[in-house]
Amino acid sequence: MHGKTLRDHIRLRKSLYRISERLGNPIASDFTSKDFAHYREQRSIEVTTTTINREHAYLRAMFNELERLGVIEFENPLSKIRQFKEREKELRYLDHDEIARLLGSCQTVSNRSLVFIVKTCLATGARWGEAESLKPSQIKNNQITFLNTKSSKNRTVPINQTLYDELTALESISEERMFLNSLSAFRKAVSEANIDLPKGQMTHVLRHTFASHYVMSGGNIVKLRDVLGHSEITTTMRYAHLAPEHLEETLMLNPLNQHQKPTDS
């Protein structure tokens, strides 16, 4: 793959090396769809469907790029293999009581940056890494501009005066970074707040919480997509079922409710 053009090329290259080693370092021209089908069958014993699909995507993209660059002349061996279907994950979000407990727990942890990172995520829907890596220059005029995002597009989100004052009054650890690394402190705060989270959602729960409360309060799905920085509206639509009008229609239009309506005498 033309890795040098990718922001996370080092991580991706390491992943491809590990996949190749697990495959037995095959010759690319000899590698077949059957080889990969056998590999992922064995791999499914150890890892999740999501991980297998990610590895599938990495390899397929690598062969596509090699073909595009003219490095290989044979067909991509993974082009006709479909990815496994994945079960839709539970999108856990915090209720108001849990938010209060979490913020209180963050205040007791020795890490001075933690509570401000959590507040930033809850106020903007930022990914953990986006918030944790903020520079002072990204906070201006009651707005936060997120750079180096997953979608590679900058986005600006407004914040209220209270949070703006707290962040601008905070002493940054350097000109290039406002906050300390705080992930381990966050895990501790979640545990002390007695909040139970699904596997893999330790930090993403803050983003889910923002999006869920946004929709439940009547927020527009299309605008939410822009705030979250989703490339596809289908990703944002995961939250649509929480919209008040959706819940009201479900209540009013279900057949049992209609059956139980009193009839005119």
Q: Is 56 a catalytic residue?
A: no
Q: Residue 1: in which H helix or E strand, if any?
A: none
Helix (H, G, I), strand (E, B) or coil at 144: strand
CA distances from 97 to 7, 91, 122, 165, 195 (A): 38, 18, 14, 24, 10
Q: Is 204 a catalytic residue?
A: yes
Six token digits for residue 68? 């595009």
Q: Kindly name the residue from 13, 92, 112, 150 that is annotated as catalytic.
A: 150
Helix locations, 109-232, DSSP H: 114-124, 128-132, 161-169, 183-192, 204-216, 221-228
- The string of DSSP codes covering 4-50 is GGSTTHHHHHHHHHHHHHHTT---GGG--HHHHHHHHHHHTTTS-HH
Contact 200, 114 (CB under 8 A): no
Q: Kindly name the residue from 56, 207, 213, 225 that is annotated as catalytic.
A: 207
Q: Is 135 a catalytic residue?
A: no
Q: Is 150 a catalytic residue?
A: yes
Euclidean distance between CA atoms 183 and 114, whole angstroms: 8
Q: Kindly name the residue from 56, 127, 208, 225 that is annotated as catalytic.
A: 127
Q: Kindly name the residue from 60, 177, 204, 238 that is annotated as catalytic.
A: 204
Active site residues: 127, 150, 204, 207, 230, 239
